[in-house]
Amino acid sequence: MPKQRKFNILEHELVPKHEVLPPEEAARILKELGVTPQQLPWLRVTDPVARAIGAKPGDIVRIYRKSPTSGETIAYRYVVGY
């Protein structure tokens, strides 16, 4: 059986940039949006990108997506453990 090679999922052209927010910035963003963390879309801790960036349950992740019509959009996700 051939040995499988690992690759960095974050370098794939279809994977947008993800970053874990520091707690102070996460609190500020939640206040600006007027939501609780649980009201954000969820990102499972087992997601390959969440694992690659070291996200832990309770973290807020910022995702930068490129769009042909709006340039760049930002989305936020709440990391859950299940």
4-18 pLDDT, tens per residue?
667 788 878 788 999
Q: Is residue 9 part of a domain?
A: no
Q: What is the pLDDT of residues 28-79, one digit of tens each?
A: 999 999 999 999 999 999 999 999 999 999 999 999 998 888 889 999 999 9
Report the number of distinct structural domains present in the chain. 1
Q: Is residue 37 part of a domain?
A: yes
Domain hosting 28: range is 14-80
Q: Spell out the residues 6+ positions from residue 15 whose beta carbon is closer than 8 angstroms to its own.
A: 9, 49
CATH number of the structural domain spanning residue 24: 3.90.940.20
Q: Is residue 6 part of a domain?
A: no
Q: Is residue 5 part of a domain?
A: no
Q: Is residue 74 part of a domain?
A: yes
Q: Is residue 4 part of a domain?
A: no
- Other CB atoms within 10 A of residue 69 CB: 5
Q: Is residue 22 part of a domain?
A: yes
Q: What is the pTM of this model?
A: 0.85
> What b/e string do you get for 43-60 counting C-beta neighbours within 10 Å, with b at 16 or more?
bebebebbeebebeeebb
- From residue 28, how far is each of 22, 42, 57, 68 by CA, in Å? 10, 19, 19, 29
